[in-house]
Amino acid sequence: MDLLSDFLKLIVPAGLVLYGMYLTVKLLLEREAGRHRFDVQARYTETVVPIRLQAYERMVLFLERISPNNLLLRMGGSSTTVLEFQQRLLQEIRDEYNHNLSQQVYMSQAVWDQIQAAMNDVMMLINQASGDTRPDAPALDLSKRIFERIIQLDKQPTSTALKTLKEEIQTMFM
């Protein structure tokens, strides 16, 4: 009995010390894991966020460049007939799109779909306006028809995509 009592006197404090060490080591490991997660997050922020922001900026620029108002001002006077002007406008949109195609990896699928829809809407607007004019008419006639269609729609075909893109950018910083 005396041996059992001495044994318990030794085991209970040793168990408490081991349990205390276990809690201390566990707390240190959790802190270290938290510090590691923070470091990874900080490196991610330093590396990926600027790249994503640049991709968003490029897509805003793309949408602004293909908006009919800007596109017609930039390309106006470079063609003589409606058919030639239509082809140049559509080619300009395709070139801009192909130049920025890789940016889709940095944004959500919903935003990318909105960007593609805006591009398709602009191309459709150009094609419809071109269908309303004679192919051999002056290029200025196509510009007028495009502006008339925009006035009828009462909004730019790129406005929804721009709004969605800006909202996603805002969520990155909130």
Given a cut of 80, is residue 148 above it in pLDDT?
A: yes
**Global confidence as pTM:** 0.76
Span 114-147, pLDDT tens digits: 999 999 999 999 999 999 999 899 989 999 999 9
Span 13-53, pLDDT tens digits: 888 989 999 999 999 999 999 999 988 888 887 888 889 99
pLDDT at 112: 96
DSSP 132: T
DSSP assignment string, 76-106: TTS-SBHHHHHHHHHHHHHHHHHHHGGGGGG
Alpha carbons 165 and 53: distance in angstroms, whole number: 11
Residue carrying the six token digits 């490196």: 43
pLDDT at 4: 80
